[in-house]
């Protein structure tokens, strides 16, 4: 018997004014030149009405190899935040190459008991996918501190920044569906059609890699899902290979639609006359699968990020270039029921 995807997924409690939001190093270290970005993020969160705090590992000069600390230290700090009832949301400072080292150390029972929004992308995609697979937790594939709130938001035109602040406030505090995400001129229809299903995705290399572990999202959960992905760095041929991994895994045979983020710093895709284009790569791998594809959407490394909450149902109309969130990402501020906790308990 196959397991159906969680419906509804495990939603965190909606945030309220004055709630404590912690910025934490969940992967890479804080480099000295980005300390001002963290301070700017604090200002953004305060303006949104929250009470920001920095976790102890978020400190310039603290590092272990390419990480903020050893994986066990990062897991211990994260688990402390998950268990602390005062902490209502966790925002990753940056991405990196560390989350694989502590997926098996995360306190899943703390998540089931008191689910909280964890915001981030890049390496943080692993947390969203693994925790969704293990607990049903809605993952907030959204902006982080250093490259997002503290950078991209700061350089965005004032109307765009105001639009993002309203969107994120509604995402974290609102218990009604957001509806249509604000589109942009970069959005392109690569294959027309409509689709509706839960959002599942992240950085494509992390999707491919996590599916090779015991933290993989069950294959049947992709049935009818809207797959979203983006990528940074490497070669265009890598993207083609990752898509073929998803094809061989059976994922492309199950999804109902695909949303592709704007690529960044991928060799072979950087010039306007690149050949093949990203659209050509995607359609080559999809073959004759009748899957609508919306391309060049603003999420991931080319942000500022439109939020893509993992596990939340979305409606895609590629020809009209629209993407809508059909469910809230958070639930009313009440304790989870016994049924919520039991659904994903061993």
Residues 6+ away with beta carbon under 8 Å from 217: 129, 132, 133, 200, 210, 211
Residue at 231 is within a domain: yes
Mark which of 158, 176, 194 sits at the end of a domain. 176
Per-residue pLDDT at 5: 79
Average pLDDT, the chain: 94
Q: What is the pLDDT of residues 117-135, one digit of tens each?
A: 999 999 999 999 999 999 9
Total residue count of the chain as it appears in this document: 346
Whether the CA torsion 160, 139, 85, 59 is positive or negative: it is negative
Does residue 244 share a domain with residue 160? no
Q: What is the pLDDT of residues 184-199, one digit of tens each?
A: 999 999 999 999 999 9
In this prediction, residue 337 has a pLDDT band, given cuts at 50, 70 and 90, of low
Residue at 346 is within a domain: no
Per-residue pLDDT at 119: 98
Residue at 76 is within a domain: yes
pLDDT score of 277 more than 80:
yes
SS3 137: strand
Does residue 204 share a domain with residue 144? no
Does residue 310 share a domain with residue 189? yes
Per-residue pLDDT at 341: 54
Q: What is the pLDDT of residues 320-333, one digit of tens each?
A: 999 999 999 999 98
Average pLDDT over residues 208-235: 97
Residue at 70 is within a domain: yes
In this prediction, residue 1 has a pLDDT band, given cuts at 50, 70 and 90, of very low
Per-residue pLDDT at 168: 98
Instruction: Report the CATH number at residue 275.
Output: 3.50.30.60
Does residue 300 share a domain with residue 217? yes
Tokens of 312: 């939340």
Other beta carbons within 10 Å of 289: 14
Instruction: Report the CATH number at residue 75.
Output: 3.40.50.10740
Q: What percent of the chain has pLDDT over 90?
A: 91
**pTM of this prediction?**
0.94
Per-residue pLDDT at 3: 62
pLDDT score of 273 more than 90:
no
pLDDT score of 342 more than 80:
no
Q: How many domains does the chain have?
A: 2
Per-residue pLDDT at 7: 76
Give the span between the Cα atoms of 281 and 238, in whole angstroms. 10
Per-residue pLDDT at 345: 53
Does residue 165 share a domain with residue 31? yes
Residue at 148 is within a domain: yes
Per-residue pLDDT at 335: 55
Give the span between the Cα atoms of 84 and 116, in whole angstroms. 10
Q: What is the pLDDT of residues 2-14, one digit of tens each?
A: 467 777 899 999 9
Phi, then psi, of 2 in degrees rounded to 5: -90, 150
Closest CA to 99 of 237, 203, 251, 250: 203
Boundaries of domain holding 242? 179-325
Closest CA to 98 of 106, 90, 89, 87: 106
Per-residue pLDDT at 115: 98
């Amino acid at each position: 018997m196959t397991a159906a995807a969680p419906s509804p997924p495990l939603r965190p409690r909606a945030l309220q004014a004055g709630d404590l939001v912690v910025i934490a190093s969940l992967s890479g270290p804080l480099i000295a030149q980005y300390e001002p970005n963290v301070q700017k993020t604090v200002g953004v969160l305060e303006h949104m009405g929250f009470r920001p705090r920095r976790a102890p590992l978020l400190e310039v000069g603290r590092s272990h190899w390419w990480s903020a600390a050893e994986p066990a230290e990062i897991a211990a700090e994260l688990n402390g935040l998950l268990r602390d009832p005062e902490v209502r949301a966790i925002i990753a400072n940056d991405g990196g190459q560390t989350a694989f080292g502590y997926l098996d150390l995360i306190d899943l029972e703390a998540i089931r008991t008191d689910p909280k929004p964890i915001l981030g992308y890049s390496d943080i995609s692993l947390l969203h996918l693994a925790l969704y697979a293990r607990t049903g937790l809605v993952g907030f594939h959204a902006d982080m501190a250093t490259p997002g709130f503290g950078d991209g938001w700061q350089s965005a035109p004032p109307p765009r920044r105001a639009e993002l602040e309203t969107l994120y406030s509604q995402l974290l505090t609102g218990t009604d569906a957001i509806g249509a995400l604000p589109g942009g001129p970069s959005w392109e229809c690569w294959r027309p059609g409509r689709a509706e299903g839960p959002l599942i995705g992240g950085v494509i290399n992390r999707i491919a890699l996590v599916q090779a572990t015991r933290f993989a999202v069950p294959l049947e959960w992709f049935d009818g899902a809207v797959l979203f992905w983006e990528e940074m760095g490497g070669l265009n041929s890598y993207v083609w290979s990752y898509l073929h991994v998803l094809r061989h895994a059976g994922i492309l045979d199950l999804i109902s639609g695909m949303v592709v983020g704007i690529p960044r710093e991928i060799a072979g895709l950087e010039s306007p006359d690149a050949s093949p284009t990203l659209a050509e790569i995607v359609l080559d791998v999809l073959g004759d699968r009748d899957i609508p594809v919306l391309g060049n959407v603003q999420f991931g490394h080319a942000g500022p990020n439109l939020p893509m909450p993992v596990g939340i149902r979305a409606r895609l109309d590629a020809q009209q270039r629209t993407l809508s969130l059909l469910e809230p990402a958070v639930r009313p501020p009440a304790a989870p029921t016994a049924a919520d906790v039991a659904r994903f308990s061993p």
